[in-house]
Structure 1
């Protein structure tokens, strides 16, 4: 097996954040750092557990919070002073570590917090400034658009005065442009932005073509080698596209395959090879049925893969748990509808029936089925059904089904089906008039090319 995953450091050890977490120098296996929090030196899933002052507890409800080292329910109790709980009563609130009736008393703020009768001189009067009662919390998601305030990473800024380049702030100017995290002006000499990288001391008239810097007078590949007229660049070398294939700047002979997997080339029909999101695995006979889970290979029955359009995470399988997008939740605490978690468990609601995959993980098994590419044009919700209008771009086996009318109306069970976004194209399956969403959003050029190339080669 080829292990080309990017490793991170945890103390003096290395680990992969897709399947492990690092907390205070200790590695927790079987839980991805993408979805975990730390409780001391132990990683935990905050959906189903809660850490209270270094003590880890299993959640009894989604409305559970911490009061010191103990849990309490916000629907039944108050936490005062950070460590004392009281039964929740109407019109009662906290004053330091005690509770009081707000209709008869007030909480005086002098040198210390003190509960006093409401007619005491220290209690605020109805005529007092409302500014004292204004909420003082502000989150990073708040925006004052009238004043031009926005967020750049964790910093707020006025977009009329500053510009945000991948988390870095710069003074705004009509001639100023972002190039990744860097900034440059259109009047700068010998500067070229190519694929988010800012190059300096570049000869004039240089151009960025396909992520490669070309100098017209001598046609160099990233200024390292000089090819013959008509040759193409692959990284810092040249290659002949009729005989070779370029994978992330690495040239390979096409005899070894016609598809890239990261920087490697492979034959999609070779059952001993499996490409998982740019990582190539060499399979043994016993592991050939293993599925991809993002960049990792899911080989064990005690593991579950949960995926969304943004993340793919492996979890240790647990009873009464299910996937909601890339989250793994306790069905007694949460419910899931169209990949959205809700803190309202519904015992009788069916969990998601399947997870979406990358198109590369679906072929060649889908080559002989009634499949097609459909772009979501509009969506409407009626009761528990999601009605989707699709524009059919390309189809698999039953081409004649859609020639007369490229518009297709599909109905899905809203909660148990993955979410769909307007304007995005997905891979679909048709079976006796029933339609099933199969893939994450696809690329209309590379994915469709890959699908037809593999399927036509399979037929041949």
Structure 2
């Protein structure tokens, strides 16, 4: 996908940023004020002083004359309209995702890589896919073709009243949960982990970025590192908001975001490496985690979702203005009254934060605040924390 107002598509898979006086020539762009597009026999960009440029101009004028265009109207150069590696006349042909078709009438439309006519019977375009031999009453809803006469799912029919599609069958959402097209009984859990379902309160199950692990046969503590399970003492997980990487532990090495660096060569400040080692410096080392890795541990703490509104640096401190979006205190009812909080963090030893993003924070007994999670999705993550913790409380 690309935005036609800001970019050009030349050929099938070549996208360029749109520039003034630039157009396509085959699979590349060129400046029309200094170059032209020549067919030798394939399309090539040539400087304007080349002989073929005058032929390209003459060809354009001849095309305009044959089409009877008024002298005040400039038609697009045929080489400007490309469909894959071919040029075409938009008055006679149409381009559908790199494939050329004859334009039969104004009712001829594209559907992905195919062309069809709106008056065709038993044909339906649904989210860029052309379906043939469908019944007349079929309709496209959310990328799914529904046929009222049938009662099953899988891209062809509408479920019965009150039922919901889950993959190729229907489910009752009151008793079952759908995880990536696989249905599960809610008695086995209320949360999805990829295509599986699990219970957050089961201490022997943990979900790591869509991968469910059984901890029954593991010895010692284990924690998530992206989609992997960190369970050996000779490994360490370094993570940022974009990556989580597992490393073999080495002496004099520390995490800096998702990097594992040599402290004798580098120093780290707010998850950024600098080639200026600072001897005798041992900042408090901790890493942010996805919210799913923190539940249900967070149910016993005073935590809240805070949106970073602004950040200011002063010496070694990072002053953050937070807007409290939602707070949960499972041990008491002492909620934060002022929705605006002013938090001061040690700049270098605290993971980086982005303006406008919402994170999970913890309020300690001494009134200080600690950043806990990667950026969260307000709708789904607030529901997850609320439902898991209040189920446990109940």
TM-score, length of structure 1 as denominator length: 0.58
| Residue equivalent to 1:157 | 16
1:454 to 385, 388, 393: 388
Q: For residues 172 and 222 of structure 2, what CA distance do their matches in structure 1 show?
A: 35
2:192 to 256, 260, 265: 260
Does the CA contact (< 8 Å) of 1:371 and 1:428 recur in 2? yes
1:332 to 261, 264, 281: 264
| Residue equivalent to 2:129 | 199
| Residue equivalent to 2:76 | none
Residue pairs, 1:243-254, within 5 angstroms: 243-254=175-186
Q: For residues 228 and 111 of structure 2, what CA distance do their matches in structure 1 show?
A: 36
1:227 to 121, 134, 159: 159
Q: Secondary structure at the match of 1:201?
A: strand
TM-score, length of structure 2 as denominator length: 0.67
Q: For residues 288 and 162 of structure 1, what CA distance do their matches in structure 2 show?
A: 63
Does the CA contact (< 8 Å) of 2:111 and 2:129 recur in 1? no
Pick closer, same or farther for the CA change 1:284–1:410 going to 2, 3 Å.
same
The Cα shift of 1:400 comes to 3.3
Corresponding residue pairs, total: 296
| Residue equivalent to 1:279 | 211
| Residue equivalent to 1:430 | 363
Does the CA contact (< 8 Å) of 1:304 and 1:315 recur in 2? yes
Pick closer, same or farther for the CA change 1:183–1:299 going to 2, 3 Å.
farther
Pick closer, same or farther for the CA change 1:406–1:399 going to 2, 3 Å.
farther
Give ranges in structure 1 of 5+ residues lacking alignment: 1-146, 164-169
Pick closer, same or farther for the CA change 1:400–1:341 going to 2, 3 Å.
same
Q: Secondary structure at the match of 2:334?
A: helix
* TM-superposition CA deviations, 1:403-436 (whole Å, max 9, x none): x311111111111111111111100001021110
**Is 2:369 the counterpart of 1:441?**
no
The Cα shift of 1:311 comes to 1.1
* TM-superposition CA deviations, 1:183-204 (whole Å, max 9, x none): 949x9764333xxxx4222769
Provide the aligned C-alpha RMSD in A: 3.5
| Residue equivalent to 1:417 | 350
Q: For residues 154 and 259 of structure 2, what CA distance do their matches in structure 1 show?
A: 42
Q: For residues 195 and 380 of structure 2, what CA distance do their matches in structure 1 show?
A: 16
2:295 to 340, 360, 363: 363
Does the CA contact (< 8 Å) of 1:176 and 1:184 recur in 2? no
Q: For residues 369 and 177 of structure 1, what CA distance do their matches in structure 2 show?
A: 56
Q: Secondary structure at the match of 1:453?
A: helix
Answer 1 or 2: higher relative contact order, Cα 8 Å, separation at least 6: 1
Pick closer, same or farther for the CA change 1:383–1:245 going to 2, 3 Å.
same
2:224 to 282, 292, 295: 292
Q: For residues 389 and 177 of structure 1, what CA distance do their matches in structure 2 show?
A: 50
| Residue equivalent to 1:44 | none
The Cα shift of 1:162 comes to 8.2
Does the CA contact (< 8 Å) of 1:232 and 1:238 recur in 2? yes
Instruction: From the two aligned structures, give the one with the greater helix fraction.
Output: 2
| Residue equivalent to 1:381 | 313
The Cα shift of 1:234 comes to 0.8
Residue pairs, 1:90-129, within 5 angstroms: none
Residue pairs, 1:170-189, within 5 angstroms: 184=112
Q: Secondary structure at the match of 1:353?
A: coil
* TM-superposition CA deviations, 1:281-333 (whole Å, max 9, x none): 11125436211111111111110001111111110000111111111111111
Q: For residues 161 and 273 of structure 2, what CA distance do their matches in structure 1 show?
A: 57
Q: For residues 288 and 171 of structure 1, what CA distance do their matches in structure 2 show?
A: 62
Pick closer, same or farther for the CA change 1:366–1:207 going to 2, 3 Å.
same
